[in-house]
Amino acid sequence: MHNAALKPDLIVDTLDTAMASRDILNFTRDEGIAAAIVCTSSIEANRWALTLLRIRGCLGVLGIPPSPWYFDSAPIAFRELSIMGSYVCGAESAGRMLDVVAKWNIKSQLTILPFERIPDIVRTYEDSGFQGRIVVQLLDGVGNPVKEGDVETTLQPLNLSIRLEDAADYQPLLAAVHDCAEHRTFPRQNVRLPDLDKQDFGHAWVYRFLIEGETSSKTSNLNGKIVCIKDCIAVADVPQSFGSDAFPAWIPRIDATVVSRLLDAGANIGIVENPHAAGYSSGGSTSGGAALVAGGVVDIALGTDQGGSIRVPASLSGCVGFKPTHGLVSFTGISSGDPVDDHAGPIARSVDDVAACLDAVAGYDGIDDRSLGAGRPGSFDFQASLTRARLDGICVGVLEEGYTSEHVQSGVRNVFLQSVDRLRALGAHVESVSIPLHVEGPSIWTIQQRISGAAGILGHSSGRRGLYLTDFERARLPWTAPNVQKLFPSTQNTVVNGLYLQSRFPGLYGKAMNVGRQIRDAYETCFERFDVVVMPTTPFVAPRHGSRDSVLECLKPSIGMTLNTAVFNITGHPALSLPVGWSAAVDDKAVLLPVGLQVVGALWQDKKVLQVAKALESSFVWQDNKAD
């Protein structure tokens, strides 16, 4: 064969990128590619290598022709810019790269190059140190509108020009920059601020809009699903207010990674009252999303959880809410509180829809360093794993500290224990388990969240490799006294608490994080014996809205709500809230409100959490279960 001198371990000769990805993953035993040496001027080949394969390691050019050649680095380096540039590399730079590869005897790189160029560069690979590559053939991209003469036309309004002999070289560079600039693939339709008479459940909507996803997606179960997005997740061209009028709404220029992935999978995106009882809370802070899902207005809500903000509203509203393992879902394009407890995940009416959403959004995106260990997008098969109807062989721990506390409402405890009996009837081995450090979780989370939260609100966040929302910072900073006064009391409280703790207790944040690690380790030890641990999601059902007449009255109803949720933002464990019945409101026995059961698993054991929740969900109709 004409490329025999390459001596590759695997040759993938196809125009089907999905098949190429599959072959490579099979060849590498589903581990993917640790590093890549890219050798092509094909924009599509670069994009495939960097975005679809999700290469995690070093990247360089190798074996390029002696003439100047460009490498499009935009997908991993410049995503926050509207227009992104390219690196230019010549034969001298490639030679230096070859020297490095030879010196360290690097093998099994991914080498992407058009097959017709192979005869010209075979001699480059004749050294035995360059054996063991995967060679992939891809065609150049199609549909790029840049054409001959566009370089000159672009410069003409400024009365600028380049040498005629250079125009041909600038044309492919212009084509590359065009491809990078087209980051938003799906058009936004009918973006609008809803009139009060067209709101749902009080003020569930901030902005309404429609983005139609990829209808040709054949591998996703999200086709046609209606998804709403929390107001801290960037959707390009849709104003974002963070549920506050403290500063003018800003307009993101990019889609968050999770938004792009939902659209690729075929989804359509488009004071909150509890959907089951007016006057009662639907939780926070993904309250609007939970209410819209529970009320049947949308199929899925994509939210964030930094202390319980997916699981609490899901529990209070009667939905399934899942906070995945920390880092499983990229936080790129989402406003961060503290990267330590940043989680993004779905709320839906069924475990199946939650799993389908996770299949679409989970995995490392090449940007967010929270998700470096998350694995390759599209490789998880969460929904396909939901096959077991029984739980034989599964060990379930019932957390004593999670339901015996005096803070747990008796009706909530009764519904929870009924669900434990159902788990036992499904074949699970059920035992009580005690983790004393669990009760320290809320205090540790409060210290961490107040100190880091204040820093983030004031614009002092740093220390992460990822995409920074610089337009957002310009929109809200610097703070002024009138703007701060418009913030919700809990946000004002975070700023005050954080500044106080920092000034009075130097080193307290570090101490809290060290104790948090001890709590994580205690749970990991527990999971050596148990597959999952269960407890009530919230200690009581939805409370009435607090009065806005004073800060204390406003915040009082939610105090203690996150006793069982915030700790897992510190530890990072996957945790799911499943509706399991009803209990009476604390202040009115005639009002019945949903009760949630929380299923928690070991780090990266998200499938196991989903499987246990699915089996329990399928065993009864939760809406028929009334404890009081």
Phi, psi at 340, each rounded to 5°: -60, -40
Kind of pairing between the strands at 532-536 and 395-399: parallel
Phi, psi at 8, each rounded to 5°: -75, 155
Active site residue 260: no
How far apart are alpha carbons 261 and 123 in whole angstroms?
41
Asked if 67 and 93 touch (Cβ cutoff 8 Å), the reply is: no
Active site residue 309: yes
Cβ partners under 8 Å of residue 187, min gap 6: 211
Write down the residue that tokens 């969240």 correspond to.
Answer: 449
Asked if 333 and 233 touch (Cβ cutoff 8 Å), the reply is: yes
CA atoms within 13 A on the CB side of 460: 10
Asked if 55 and 132 touch (Cβ cutoff 8 Å), the reply is: no
Active site residue 285: yes
Kind of pairing between the strands at 87-89 and 69-71: antiparallel
**Per annotation, catalytic residue among 42, 309, 335, 350:** 309
Phi, psi at 288, each rounded to 5°: -60, -45
Asked if 209 and 190 touch (Cβ cutoff 8 Å), the reply is: yes
How far apart are alpha carbons 502 and 497 in whole angstroms?
9
**Per annotation, catalytic residue among 225, 230, 607, 614:** 230
**Per annotation, catalytic residue among 73, 285, 350, 577:** 285
| 480-488, Cβ contacts within 8 angstroms, sequence gap of 24 or more | 483/246, 483/247, 484/246, 486/244, 486/245, 486/246, 487/244, 487/246, 488/243, 488/244
User: Which active-site residues does the annotation give?
Assistant: 230, 285, 309
